[in-house]
Homo-oligomer: A and B are copies of this chain.
Amino acid sequence: MNLRIGVIGTGAIGEDHIRRITNVITGARVVALSDLNVNRAKNLAKKYDVKFYVTGEEVIEAAEVDAVVIASWDPTHAQYVAASIKAGKFVLCEKPLATSKEDCKRIVEAELAGGKQLVQVGFMRRFDSGYRQLKACIESGEIGNPLMLHCVHRNPTPGPKHTTEMSIKNSVIHEIDVLRWLLGEDFKTAQVLLPKSSSLAENGLRDPQIVLLETQSGVRIDIESFVSCQYGYDVQCEVVGETGTIRLPDPAAVVMRSHGKLSYEIFSDWSDRFVEAYNIEFQQWVDGVKLGVVAGPTAWDGYAACITADACTEAREKGTIVPITMPQCSAFYGR
């Protein structure tokens, strides 16, 4: 039986997820959607032969909806996740889980009170083949204990309303989650270095930034965030262990020799870079939901990422090293 999914938010990402559920993965179909942009939503509803609802809450409560995907405006995530929990329905919420840690906490508490894990956060990198290979390699012991991670997260140009704060909250947050998962531990301190800004970073944007994290066991992480690097979308991650290092692979690309150079193309767009990760994320989410389990990053993971990102923001604003205090994680979340 196909899992019947309601999608809240049908902007670029939401539409892409509808396409993915409909055409790419197996075992699910979209049955309901809603968006503030009613025209766009109705057109998509027509195109995909899906019921349109005026509000996200109606989608969540609709009898024909088994599970919910949230891809709406960030500040609305928390309310829809809460409503999904209340309705007892599985929900895959695009990151961030919420825009404040207080909201994250409320979600965690509500889920805990309900007694059943229902929430998955859309940190798709955990499903990327390269990161999975890194994790397997770390766990194999081949490079000994990890001691340092050197990471890079570059975009050719920032989105239209990108702010200095968003570089961490919306972009580096992917590293925050995936590195926490890779290492299996939380962070202890955060610091942010501000190199001189690129002359191509407009409107007072501080870009690039370097985020320094320290894990509870003392692993040191540096993350370069550079949202106006011009040349392409580029994600790098090197894990330095006691006896060796491993690097995230660059995507496979044709090697060309021409005009005096050997070259290969670098993606220009994050959605191309992680398209496979999204596909696997959705397939595994659907498969898990059918079995009644959340098989990806939980509400707690979303909460932990939010706490960490907030500490980074504070560190950037104050120019100091900021301690990160992680609340005790309930056994409910399996840690």
Contact = CB atoms under 8 A, between A and B. Distances in A.
Interface of A: 22-26, 129-130, 133-134, 137, 142-145, 147-148, 150, 152, 193-200, 208, 210, 212, 214, 217-220, 222, 224, 226, 229-232, 234, 240, 242-266, 268
Contact of A148 (B130, B147, B224, B247): B224
Contacts of A208: 147-148, 240
B249 A147 contact: no
A261 B255 contact: no
Nearest to A20: B26
Contacts of A251: 252
A89 B165 CA distance: 58
A29 to B, nearest CB: 9
Contacts of A200: 144, 242-243
Nearest to A147: B195
B243 A262 contact: no
Contacts of A263: 261-264
A230 B258 CA distance: 8
Nearest to A218: B196
Given A199-B145, A219-B195, A243-B200, A150 B257 contact: no
B261 A266 contact: yes
Contacts of A144: 198-200
Contacts of A198: 144-145, 147, 242
A252 B254 contact: no
Contact of A254 (B26, B137, B231, B266): B137
A275 to B, nearest CB: 11
Contacts of A217: 196
- Interface-centre pick from A150, A246, A258, A268 (highest chain B CB count, 10 A): A258
Nearest to A255: B247
A252 B130 contact: yes
30 contacts: A25-B26, A130-B252, A137-B254, A137-B256, A142-B256, A143-B256, A143-B258, A144-B199, A145-B196, A147-B198, A150-B150, A193-B212, A195-B218, A195-B219, A200-B243, A224-B240, A226-B240, A229-B240, A230-B243, A231-B257, A231-B258, A232-B257, A232-B260, A243-B258, A249-B252, A249-B253, A250-B262, A260-B266, A261-B265, A263-B264
A231 to B, nearest CB: 5
Contacts of A260: 231-232, 265-266, 268
A254 B197 CA distance: 25
Contacts of A130: 252, 254
A248 B264 CA distance: 11
A177 to B, nearest CB: 20
Given A150-B152, A231-B243, 10 more contacts: A142-B256, A144-B200, A193-B212, A193-B214, A193-B220, A200-B243, A249-B264, A252-B252, A261-B264, A263-B263
B142 A258 contact: yes
A44 B310 CA distance: 53
Contact of A266 (B24, B214, B222, B262): B262
A216 to B, nearest CB: 10
